[in-house]
Structure 1
Amino acid sequence: MKRFTCQSCGQLLFFENTRCDQCHVPLGFMPESACLTALTPVAGNLFRAVDCDTGDEPRAFCTNHIYDVCNWLAPPLQGNGAFCFACQFNRVIPNLNIPGNMERWHKLEIAKHRLFYTILRLKLPVKNRRQDPQEGLAFDFLDDSPQGSLPIMTGHSNGVITIATKEADDAYRERMRVEMGEYYRTLLGHFRHEIGHYYWNVLIRDGGRLEACRAVFGDDRMDYQTALQNHYARVAPGNWREHYVSLYAMSHPWEDFAETWAHYFHIVSTLETALSYDMTIGPKVDGQAILTHKNDPYLHMPFDEIIEAWLPLTYAVNSLNRSMGLTDFYPFVLTAGVRTKLRFIHDVVRQVQQAA
């Protein structure tokens, strides 16, 4: 994530801000330029960016802005009632008649908008359900039925990503993290994992990369349900970290790819944040850091440079967390086997960017 500042007064901003805390100017996010900008009212509900390289057309907020779950601006010339780039992919939102669901939806949208920030910055292709009725991307935020039927499970199927609304409850999510023996379980992590399944379809299956992917992640043609049953029935070998970023990645090549994809998103997004705040923990030459804010992990940094920056950063932030009595910021080990898989994903992303 970039470092954002208010164009009106210079105050540091967060990605989710809708108004500057210092000068109180309204703020909106321009997805096409990844710019959080101060806004000047024009007429009615239309605004113009104070200083953002996106043209001069007045813009309206996404229609979900009225629920305080979105600060993105809709495309120009669409006026009121239009959805922004990120919200156009919503198919089902939580039932707002259920107590607590407004807050849960707010948390879900924070994670989803950060996901789309990364998709846009990486210049990845994405189609909604209108553009591709069969396998276009859509999000269903679903609640468990009160009638006691099977609980909603987070997952992906042919472009539709289901996120169980209950995952927005911190207590539930932490309980599941402990029960499942996971090191890390967050809403943003769910979004990044499930979008990995979508991009396996788009970039691997339909992108002519199946055999290359199988050579790295294994044969995805093995029966999925049987593989899951076998995974939960066995005891993990002591050396599993040599090849997998998480225990769940061992269950099936699809899950291995999605878990690795999620970690690639973790890395490039967090690294951009660190570099934008001038954090240069890592190798130096003649007293000068090799890595500077000019290096863009989304578009330009070579894979080896990304890893060289990421590893010392995680050591430092893990140590900071431990100093505060918190769990590790990044409780994973990127062994040579895992880095090979991350490199494959990095190479696929760069190929897509170059072809765009």
Structure 2
Amino acid sequence: MYLWLVGWLLAWFSGWLVFGRRGYVPKDTTADMPDRLSIIIPARNEAANLPQLFRSLQAQQIDIHEVLVIDDGSTDQTQAVAQRFGATVLATKTDQPGKAAACWQGAQAASGTLLLFLDADTAFLTTGGISQIVAAFQNKGNQGLMSVQPYHQVQKVYEQLSYVFNVVLMAGLNRFSVFGESVKAGGAFGPCLLCTRQAYQEVSGHQDMALGILDDIALAKRFMAAQRPIHLYGGRGLLAFRMYPKGFKQLIQGWTKDFATAAQVTNPGLMVGIILWLIGNSTIPCVGLLYSWPIAAVCYAVFYGQNVYFAKRVGTFRRDLLILFPGYFCFFLCLFAWSAIQTYIRKSVVWKDRKIHL
């Protein structure tokens, strides 16, 4: 019994090791804007999401040089919505579809010295959001690639299942452990990327990335190969998005398309810690079945408290539903296995009405 309890204690402790660093964008800085800022938004069927993003851009207390929307074969009113808000709209080439190609096309058309890539479903939570991000980048000497993971705004019950994915995604890129920046970054967050135009061009940016590749991880690898630093932050209070609002099927497809591949960039030592944490959370009810319910109640409460704290850092996940956290973790493990099957056996995934061969 004691060996099992030590194992669960180790799993709980591993959670603090792999996700013990908050890593938010510093607030006590002000951007000096000698550079022109170009915002590039790749979009495919994002007519419903773009208004929220554009309203948050219009409220920013910083000069935005230009906003470019790269329409990736949309069949809705994406182009019309973007033009209504004054953005310049470009259409991707028919022989070069996909987000990476759209980002590269937008970067070639941009005339700013700073490039900020934003997903269409993101929105800034404060009027100083962009200024805060730019200031943090300037404090790093405008060097390398800066990336912010948006805060996940959750509305429907099924969206609560994304909690574990958010934590593992951030922990898996190696910069949110207690070891901080002493561990090499594994990649970047695709929804928000900032770099200089010069650096982007020198590392070839998103050029010639195959459809279906994890463009955020591939871009970070190009920066790291050129000995340029990666700066990763959490977006709580600054930048947010709502993932997969169209239903449970979209959530399944969205997390399936990337997760097994993304796991390859996690530091091996941190990966062991993440696995221990996942197993501990998914099996903690077994304490009651194997030993005694009083001991089980204490262990359950300890794990629940940790999950409530982690959930606050990544999104608006409900405390009352988090009481069912072992189910969240079992769902994650099942979907991760399905992602591995799709990625390594079937070698294809479906996303936004496209079948993507890996």
TM range (shorter): under 0.3
- Relative to the length of structure 1, the TM-score reads 0.27
**Greater relative contact order (CA < 8 Å, ≥ 6 in sequence):** 2
Greater per-residue helix proportion: 2
